[in-house]
Structure 1
Amino acid sequence: MKTLFPYVRARLGPPGGPGTLRADFTASLVVFLVALPLCVGVAVASGVPAEVGLITGIVGGLVTGFLPGSSLQVSGPAAGLTVLVYEAVKTYGLGGLGVLVLVAGLLQLAMGALRLGRWFRAISVSVVQGMLAGIGLVLIAGQLYALTDAKAPSSGPDKLLGLGGLAVDTLSDSTALTALGIGTATVLVLALWPKWRAGARVLPAPLAAVLLATVATGVFGLPVARIEVQGLLASVQPPGLDDFGGLASVGMLGTVLAFTLIASAESLFSAAAVDRLHEGPRTDYDKELMAQGAGNTVCGVLGALPMTAVIVRSSANVSAGARTKASRVLHGVWLLIFAAAFPAALELIPVSALAGVLVHAGWKLIPLKSLVPMWREHRAEAVVLGVTALAIVITDMFQGVLLGLLMSVVKTAWETSHVHVETEDPGAELPLQVIVLGNATFLRLPKLQDQLDALPADRRVELRLEGLRHVDHACGLALSTWEEQHNKAAGRAEAASGARSEERSGVAG
């Protein structure tokens, strides 16, 4: 047993005195209180039992939290994957969800081992922000139905189009109005609680909001829907062999890729943000990607939700004074104790209160503060963000992100492919020297063609391309074709001009 403790201390971080242990212990309690309502809320919104979200939170603490990578960021089920998980559960069932998460975790492990973690930092920030904004919009639209204990339509456009009918139905139903009142009050508490600093030091806003809603519902006996609980062990549903057969379908493979890319990007962007919040060791992105992969692999085996690093919990961990990864491991211990010992407490929580938590979380996913500065300074980036978000709302997560990545690549290619034409005239008897400079890609081909066509049509030319840093196949072919055709036309013009000169000379003689 004595040989185990040095290993554990080495994994949790550098040894510290009582002050370090006390700081990590206190921070772990704060993170636990923040994580508890979010784990349950994400699970309910994803269409799975509440305990499934707690299982992912427990794995995020006890598995991912124990591994190297980032020292202070905390992992668990994230609101950013809620929409995609809901669609996956509806299509493939809980067993299929386990397969998706398991394979995504194995892919993350492989990418980390291949040292691909740092490359996720190359993904355009506007694509990630657009992805989160699109998720936030769809999440809010769906949870507006849960605020009134109503069932949400399946697709993003249907959710938006059905809001008018939802408002009419709610106004004519006293029970729905009661649920809406609880959910709205929850959102208000979430927004206002942090302003009361004394209260915020005692309880995090999400827990305070859910507790107040639960107490009010119980005291006044309000007739609203509450969470259904089936027990922690009953919620562990490993995927069966039959569930793996779906991997032969294009749809399931596409969902696996979406889980992998989105969870990895969100985790590593979160790590970069958390590194700016503290002065401790910086994140090793490849190791962090492997830690996330290990956590998702375990979650897949247990049939739980996919995990990512979550900026809300991570920032709470740093703000609470955490010094080592012991705080995030302990938060997983507290989640396990609560889920095992007090599952009945979850049955008291009204569904509309959790919907309010997720409406607030969805709103925070939309980068409202950065939109106006981005539009002023980087308009193309703002367009990529907006198109990505809109595409996710109209189609789905995977297609929206792919469109955003494609637009980002095209935008970058457009901005870097500057090309212009210069000329040097060595004399009337020699060809005009046409010098092409810059990066010649198909995106700039129309502009390049216009510049070439403006040159004298009756003068032979010689193209000089040594000033080009890059030329793609389309531009190379267009340039060689233009030179050949231009010189033929110039030769015919010279011949016609010579014939006219001889004719005038004959007439004069």
Structure 2
Amino acid sequence: MFKNLKNDLPASIVVFFVALPLCLGIALASGAPLFSGLIAGIVGGIVVGALSGSQIGVSGPAAGLAAIVLASIGTLGGYENFLVAVVLGGLIQILFGVLKLGVIGYYFPSSVIKGMLTGIGIIIILKQIPHFFGYDAAPEGDFSFFQTDGGNTFSGIINAFKSISLGSTIIAIVGLAILILWDKVLVKKAKIFQLVQGPLVAVVIGILFYAFTVDSEGLSISKEHLVSVPIPGDFSSFLGQFSFPNFAVIGNTDIWITAFTIALVASLETLLCVEATDKLDPEKRVTPTNKELFAQGTGNIISGMIGGLPITQVIVRSSANIQSGGKTKMSAIIHGFFLLISVILIPRLLNMIPLSVLAAVLLIVGYKLAKPSTFKAMWSAGRKQFVPFIVTILGIVFIDLLWGIGLGLMVGIVVILYKSYQNSHFLHIEDVSNGKHRVKMTLAEEVTFFNKGAILKELDQLPEDTYLTLDVRKTRYLDNDILEILEDFSEKAKGRHIDIKLISERGEVENPESYIQFFKLRPKSA
């Protein structure tokens, strides 16, 4: 690992610059103590980085879990109770790895996954708008769109516009402009702009703005609009900043539901990130997915035990690592140590960061998750992709994350069944000769009970005096339900003067006596 230190050390600095504001920002979006985001970043870098089989992936608190954390802290009755779910979620992830469920990500339709990430991006944007304008009266509101106080997410944003803090808003706009300029223009101009990242520059400008306007009546930013990280007086007080799980609530059913949700979503997001980073890796190394689940589970256990947020592998930090020339896992590990050192040595400086600047960083994160181009691409992919995608988004935004994923998955299944219903057979009407309609029906490769309705409908609509050719040469699996339909239809066909010719691999049969017996005699390969 150390032979690539000349590449990994500069890359780790870049990842640190990206991770520091994001750790704080994601904790803010999660409604958790800001220190918890730093803990998760440290554990994700040092512990998960050391155990992971990925050479270029970087783990830490993820925007994709912010919605779950925000909802769960309130539902479970406090952050210490929520930490129990994080620890249990880590244990479940290790179990996933032992059971070799590293392929779990492949069983969710891509339309639902893209809808999940887009919905999360929209929620992050909506929930950070109040922070952007320096309005901190319960800025996140309730996680659900319709809130317990009778309002909703949009009414909360409208209320924020009525109490704008001028200083917070100005520096948020400046920070947002820096981020956009850095990402779209400067990073392409010189290597220095790749080494020093836009989020860090925005944070530094925010600190300077606060320092120079602290005594100004119109532009000063009040304490409640700043980051609030505990400042330790010594090492023992530093250790006192950590929260610990309240295992007295471990018997609560909601704790286990939240733990399973964390394990599932964190595993899914990690596996999707692994797939993406492996494709970006110049050396095309393949990450062992089950080992990655073990590493992530261990990281979540440790993070939960000392007060940190849930951890996943994160595509933003991983891609920054790859683009900065990171070669091995040392870059992720070193960035974790940089985070640890910053928490110990410069907490006073961290407490000068305006929350509105972090909101600007998160608005960019949310936008990257919910780009308009994603909507355009899904629309171009057709209705069977777009409908589950948009249903997932609406479910997440207007209900919650689990409902959104569940509804999207249900719609995806319905689409599959409908397409299966449509594609069970091909019907071709040839001509009319000697008073008989000539119709050819070709069955698909696999025909199951899902296709009963479509086939039965076509058979019942055949007119009298029809010559039906039933072609099953391409069919490799024919459900018994379909055989029973054909048996019943053969009886009806006699009364309707319908002749049937069956074409199979074994040849042609006119008006077979029994379809069931015929198919039982077919070769096993068929």
Normalization by structure 1: what TM-score?
Answer: 0.83
- Which piece of structure 1 moves more, 294-303 or 64-73? 294-303
Q: CA distance change for structure 1 residues 98 and 168 in 2, over 3 Å: closer, same or farther?
A: closer
Is 1:193 paired with 2:182?
yes
Distance 2:321 2:365 in 1: 18
Q: CA distance change for structure 1 residues 365 and 468 in 2, over 3 Å: closer, same or farther?
A: same
Specify the code of the residue in structure 2 equivalent to 1:229. V
Shift of 1:204: 0.7
Q: CA distance change for structure 1 residues 135 and 475 in 2, over 3 Å: closer, same or farther?
A: farther
Distance 1:236 1:385 in 2: 39
- Runs of at least 4 residues of structure 1 off by over 6 A? 421-424, 432-436, 458-467
1:206 corresponds to which residue? 199
Specify the code of the residue in structure 2 equivalent to 1:196. L
Distance 2:175 2:169 in 1: 10
Is 1:266 paired with 2:269?
yes
1:297-308 equivalences in 2 (<5 Å): 297-308=301-312
Q: Is the 8 A contact 2:15 2:335 kept in 1?
A: yes
2:313 corresponds to which residue? 309
Is 1:228 paired with 2:228?
yes
Secondary structure, in 3 states, of the residue corresponding to 2:145? helix
2:458 corresponds to which residue? 451
1:307-346 equivalences in 2 (<5 Å): 307-346=311-350
* Cα-Cα RMSD: 3.2
- Which piece of structure 1 moves more, 410-419 or 359-368? 410-419
1:419 corresponds to which residue? 424
Identity %: 34
5+ residue gaps, structure 1: 1-12, 492-509
Q: CA distance change for structure 1 residues 475 and 94 in 2, over 3 Å: closer, same or farther?
A: farther
Specify the code of the residue in structure 2 equivalent to 1:338. S
Is 1:142 paired with 2:127?
yes
Shift of 1:488: 8.4
Secondary structure, in 3 states, of the residue corresponding to 1:117? coil
5+ residue gaps, structure 2: 215-219, 232-237, 498-526
Secondary structure, in 3 states, of the residue corresponding to 2:53? coil
Specify the code of the residue in structure 2 equivalent to 1:310. V
Specify the code of the residue in structure 2 equivalent to 1:266. E
Shift of 1:134: 0.8
Distance 1:480 1:180 in 2: 75
Q: Is the 8 A contact 1:102 1:297 kept in 2?
A: yes
Secondary structure, in 3 states, of the residue corresponding to 1:227? coil
Shift of 1:406: 2.6
**Cα distance per residue 1:126-169 (max 9 Å; x no partner):** 11110001111111111112223232320342379746645654
- Which piece of structure 1 moves more, 292-301 or 28-37? 292-301
Specify the code of the residue in structure 2 equivalent to 1:173. S
2:100 corresponds to which residue? 115
Q: CA distance change for structure 1 residues 169 and 367 in 2, over 3 Å: closer, same or farther?
A: closer
Specify the code of the residue in structure 1 equivalent to 2:360. G
- Which piece of structure 1 moves more, 257-266 or 366-375? 366-375
Normalization by structure 2: what TM-score?
Answer: 0.80
1:9 corresponds to which residue? none
Distance 1:70 1:27 in 2: 15
| Greater per-residue helix proportion | 1
2:363 corresponds to which residue? 359
Q: CA distance change for structure 1 residues 467 and 316 in 2, over 3 Å: closer, same or farther?
A: closer
Shift of 1:112: 1.5
Specify the code of the residue in structure 1 equivalent to 2:280. L
Distance 2:399 2:479 in 1: 33
- Which piece of structure 1 moves more, 386-395 or 72-81? 386-395
Secondary structure, in 3 states, of the residue corresponding to 2:103? helix
Specify the code of the residue in structure 1 equivalent to 2:142. S
Q: CA distance change for structure 1 residues 203 and 118 in 2, over 3 Å: closer, same or farther?
A: same
Shift of 1:122: 3.9
**Cα distance per residue 1:89-121 (max 9 Å; x no partner):** 111121222121112111211221222213423
Q: CA distance change for structure 1 residues 468 and 348 in 2, over 3 Å: closer, same or farther?
A: same
Distance 1:117 1:273 in 2: 15
Q: Is the 8 A contact 1:460 1:490 kept in 2?
A: no
